[in-house]
């Protein structure tokens, strides 16, 4: 019984399945038959519609002719003869045999249609070009109605129809009959023909590709997010090259599509792997522009900046030291201001620290002090003009500063940015941006200025590592430097690879040498050409006498190879905090060192030396090395990133090991240095350094008003304004970092914990007296920064 029941159930299921399948087949066949009927009816309606359109054209064109009567009658006769043929054409289309043939031969998925453009082509070709074209049998009709497009196509059906052959014959007869150039030209240019053409074009519209910009896909969005988050990822330890590889990988799909499209069009590929970021920028900007989006600034961004309607830009150079302190951050910014102002294309202001008398006694040499900023300004200008040979037209201003004995540097007091008035706040050059902003509590530089460039002078990490708990301190200082330079700069220039890798930074030597050293070198070359002895002395070293300035390396090398350098004598020029300890160590090791007081490198007593030795590895770019090369001397220095710029000079001898040091010293003492070529002298000059600075800082673009309105050109020639149409996630993050830094530096307890000088959040009463400032309690209630006299 169970087996019988199972068999019956199985049979019932089988019949049910077959019945269901048959119903589906029947429904599908009915749908196909109905579809074929609809297509046949549409075919008939199409012929009737075409007939009505031709008749309307004939009636509408009749009164618009302005040609002579004989030409009018000929053209009207032509249309009257053409009308029976069109009626015959319509009857053939509407015949039941056509419908039956269509139902029999074309399946439900076939595409059928009438290409009315063939008739139009026949008329235009016969009338205008008299070229006989064979019908290829492809009939196509594109009908656009209510947003829907129906396309039908059939091949090999109506290529040799009697109506077409008759129409072509009548057109040839019409051409022979109206061979006159005047009549033919009048017919070609008549409004009737133009109306026929426009009507046929309206009926047979060609499908056009959509010009809409395709939306961003997920990989492109991720690539943009990763790229904009690059500085933040760098803070977290993710290297920039890794981020670039991720972006390139995410954009590879889009690149491949562009390559295939260009190859299909017969064009060479235009996608370059080195332009991934530019291509991504263009994609984002084009999509945003197609939506009508206009970026008007981020959450942290302040667009109330300088208006350069007066036609001349303003450049403010802010540094951390001033003459008579003979340090790199006092001398090099001074030369930079002079040579930027020399072009007279922009107004230049040099902002230097003002120290109270007690701090001046600690910093300035030979107990030199100044009672007023005007007195110090006169000293600075006189010193500069003696060396550059022209009168530099730039402004010198002062901001309050205090000297830190522990850090051996000047720390700004109060908001440094307030000492550049809002009217002149256009372009800022921050010499040592990390130093200026460690404890900066005031207006954000990039909010007040249109373009901010930072120039890194000092390898602070190298100095800090030499101190107690140096590794831990260096770790924190490294990330603080990244923080403040990213938050307060648009562009950062590193003089050499010896500095830490900072966000938005590039490596370029933007320092030159005092023109006086180049003149000394030219004089030495002239003496040698005349057969005179240019160098009468051996080797020397010059530098501030602190262990970190190369004295430790020098004593170690000479102590290790005392026997190899037997008879070698070295004169050492310098003053500094570690002078006594350095001299006692050299005396204890019985080294042949002759210690002398520090002096200007251009002093006449130093011209006769042939070899300058500089074993320092803490410098970023040693100015004394460049000066020695400019004077035509040999330079023996370490194979170190700080000396990379000097390796191209033939008189620069670099060593890698202590044994190599001995060999290079002996080589320099035994030979004569080569004269510098004109190109080498130019590369050492401040003219070349200023040119490099303008290029690498993008100052040329800013001065030409191309920074804020920078535009990117697409391959099709269309310009897309990136800065207007594309919001930057990176700018929002930078603004958040700046706001956080502002809040933290406003807390006096946190400032003291991180090593700030007490009372440097605001300037003190002595500064107010010396610089004629308002009391520091006058604050801006909106942002919390101090108001300058110009603002009040």
Cβ atoms of 602 and 514 within 8 Å: the answer is yes
Q: How many residues does the chain have?
A: 792
Instruction: Give phi and psi for 484, each to the nearest 5.
Output: -75, -35
What's the pLDDT score for residue 150? 39
Q: Which has the closest alpha carbon to 571: 602, 532, 534, 610? A: 610
| Cis-peptide, bond into residue 50, ω within 30° of zero | no
The low-confidence residues of the chain, meaning pLDDT below 70, are 1-22, 25, 43, 47-51, 53-168, 170-212, 231, 235, 253-278, 288-311, 705-728, 776-792
What's the pLDDT score for residue 713? 45
Cβ atoms of 347 and 393 within 8 Å: the answer is no
Give the whole-angstrom CA distance, residue 762 versus residue 769. 14
Identify the helix (H) or strand (E) that includes residue 636: strand 634-638
Q: Which has the closest alpha carbon to 458: 322, 330, 637? A: 330
Instruction: Give phi and psi for 402, each to the nearest 5.
Output: -130, 145
Cβ atoms of 771 and 373 within 8 Å: the answer is yes
Query: 142: helix, coil or strand?
Result: strand
3-state secondary structure 410-435: EEECCCHHHHCCCCCCCEEEEECHHH
Parallel, antiparallel, or unpaired: how do β-strands 537-542 and 570-573 relate? parallel
The separation between CA 264 and the C-alpha centre of its own chain, rounded to angstroms, equals 31
Give the whole-angstrom CA distance, residue 792 versus residue 784. 15
pLDDT (tens digit, 9 = 90+) per residue, 150-172? Answer: 333 443 444 445 556 666 676 66
- Cross-strand partners of 655: 638
- Integer-rounded Cα Rg, in Å, for the chain is 43
Give the whole-angstrom CA distance, residue 336 versus residue 331. 9
DSSP of 671-726: S-PPPPPHHHHHHHSHHHHHHHHHHHTTHHHHHTT-STT-EEE-TTS-EEEHHHH-
Token pair belonging to 589? 């090791």
C-alpha dist (Å) from residue 729 to 228, 229, 491: 6, 7, 17
Give the whole-angstrom CA distance, residue 437 versus residue 19. 86
Give the whole-angstrom CA distance, residue 640 versus residue 497. 9
What's the pLDDT score for residue 571? 94
Name the DSSP class of 773: P
Instruction: Give phi and psi for 217, each to the nearest 5.
Output: -95, 175
Give the whole-angstrom CA distance, residue 45 versus residue 712. 53
Give the whole-angstrom CA distance, residue 484 versus residue 146. 60
What's the pLDDT score for residue 542? 93
Confirm whether pTM is higher than 0.95: no
What's the pLDDT score for residue 264? 52
Write the Ramachandran bin of 590: left for phi over 0, alpha for psi from -120 to 50, otherwise beta.
left
Token pair belonging to 434? 């990390």
Other CB atoms within a 10 A radius of the CB of residue 161 amount to 15
What's the pLDDT score for residue 366? 83
Cβ atoms of 369 and 360 within 8 Å: the answer is yes
What's the pLDDT score for residue 323? 93
């Amino acid at each position: 019984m169970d087996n019988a029941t199972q068999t019956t159930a199985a049979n019932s299921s089988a019949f049910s399945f077959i019945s269901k399948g048959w119903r589906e087949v029947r429904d599908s066949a009915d749908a196909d038959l109905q579809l074929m009927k609809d297509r046949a009816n549409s075919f008939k309606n199409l012929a009737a519609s075409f007939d009505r359109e031709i008749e309307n054209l004939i009636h509408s064109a009749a009164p618009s002719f302005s040609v002579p009567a004989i030409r009018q009658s000929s053209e009207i006769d032509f249309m009257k003869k053409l009308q029976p043929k069109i009626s015959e054409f319509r009857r053939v289309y509407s015949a039941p045999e056509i419908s039956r043939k269509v139902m029999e031969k074309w399946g439900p998925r076939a595409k059928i249609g009438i290409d009315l453009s063939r008739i139009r082509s026949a008329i235009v070709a016969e009338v205008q070009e008299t070229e006989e074209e064979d019908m290829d049998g492809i009939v196509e009709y594109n009908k656009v109605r209510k947003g829907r497009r129906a396309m039908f196509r059939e091949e090999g059906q109506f290529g040799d129809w009697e109506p077409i052959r008759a129409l072509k014959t009548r057109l040839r007869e019409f051409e022979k009959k109206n061979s006159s150039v005047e009549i033919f030209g009048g017919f070609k240019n008549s409004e009737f023909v133009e109306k026929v053409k426009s009507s046929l074009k309206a009926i047979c519209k060609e499908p056009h590709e959509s010009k809409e910009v395709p939306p961003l896909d997920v990989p492109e969005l991720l690539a943009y997010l990763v790229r904009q988050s690059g500085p933040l990822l760098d803070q977290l330890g993710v290297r920039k090259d890794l981020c670039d590889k991720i972006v390139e990988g995410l954009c590879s799909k889009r690149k491949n599509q562009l390559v295939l499209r260009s190859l299909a069009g017969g064009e060479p590929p235009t996608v370059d792997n080195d332009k991934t970021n530019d291509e991504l920028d263009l994609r984002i900007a084009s999509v945003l522009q197609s939506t009508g989006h206009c970026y008007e600034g981020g959450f942290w961004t302040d667009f109330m900046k300088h208006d350069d309607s007066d036609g001349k830009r303003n450049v403010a150079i802010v540094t951390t030291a001033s003459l008579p302190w003979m340090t790199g951050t006092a001398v090099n910014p001074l030369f930079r201001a002079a040579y930027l102002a020399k072009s007279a294309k922009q107004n230049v202001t040099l902002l230097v620290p003002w120290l109270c008398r007690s701090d001046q006694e600690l910093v300035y040499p030979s107990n030199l002090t100044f009672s007023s900023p005007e007195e110090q300004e006169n000293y600075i200008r006189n010193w500069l003009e003696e060396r550059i040979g022209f009168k530099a037209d730039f402004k010198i201003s002062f901001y309050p500063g205090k000297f830190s004995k522990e850090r051996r540097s000047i720390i700004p007091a109060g908001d440094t940015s307030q000492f550049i008035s809002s009217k002149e706040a256009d372009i800022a050059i921050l010499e040592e941006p990390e130093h200026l902003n460690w404890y900066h509590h005031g207006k954000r530089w990039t909010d007040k200025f249109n373009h901010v460039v930072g120039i890194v002078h000092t390898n602070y990490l190298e100095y800090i590592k030499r101190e107690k708990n140096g590794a831990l301190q260096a770790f924190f200082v490294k990330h603080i430097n990244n923080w403040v330079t990213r938050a307060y700069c648009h562009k950062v220039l590193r003089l050499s690879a010896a500095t830490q890798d900072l966000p938005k930074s590039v490596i370029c030597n933007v320092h030159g040498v005092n023109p006086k050293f180049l003149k000394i070198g030219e004089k030495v070359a002239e003496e040698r050409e005349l057969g005179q002895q240019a160098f009468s002395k051996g080797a020397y070293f010059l530098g501030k006498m602190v262990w970190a300035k190369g004295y430790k390396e020098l004593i170690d090398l000479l102590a290790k190879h005392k026997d190899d350098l037997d008879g070698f004598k070295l004169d050492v020029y310098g003053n500094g905090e570690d002078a006594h300890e350095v001299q006692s160590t050299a005396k204890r090791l019985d080294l042949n060192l002759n210690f002398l007081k520090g002096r200007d490198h251009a002093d006449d007593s130093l011209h006769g030396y042939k070899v300058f030795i500089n074993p320092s590895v803490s410098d970023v770019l040693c100015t004394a090395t460049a000066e020695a090369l400019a004077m035509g001397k040999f330079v023996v220095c370490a194979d170190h990133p700080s000396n990379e710029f000097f390796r191209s000079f033939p008189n620069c001898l670099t060593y890698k090991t202590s044994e190599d040091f001995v060999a290079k010293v002996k080589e320099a003492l035994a030979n004569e240095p080569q004269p510098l070529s004109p190109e080498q002298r130019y590369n050492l000059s401040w003219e070349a350094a200023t040119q490099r600075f303008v290029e690498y800082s993008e100052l040329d673009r800013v001065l030409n008003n191309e920074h804020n309105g920078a535009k990117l050109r697409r391959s099709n020639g269309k310009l897309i304004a990136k800065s207007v149409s594309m919001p930057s996630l990176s700018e929002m993050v930078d603004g958040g970092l700046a706001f956080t830094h502002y809040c933290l530096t406003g807390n006096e307890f946190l400032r003291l914990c991180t090593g700030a000088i007490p009372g440097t959040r605001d300037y003190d009463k002595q500064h107010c007296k010396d610089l004629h400032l308002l009391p520091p309690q006058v604050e801006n209630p909106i942002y919390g920064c101090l108001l300058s006299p110009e603002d009040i």
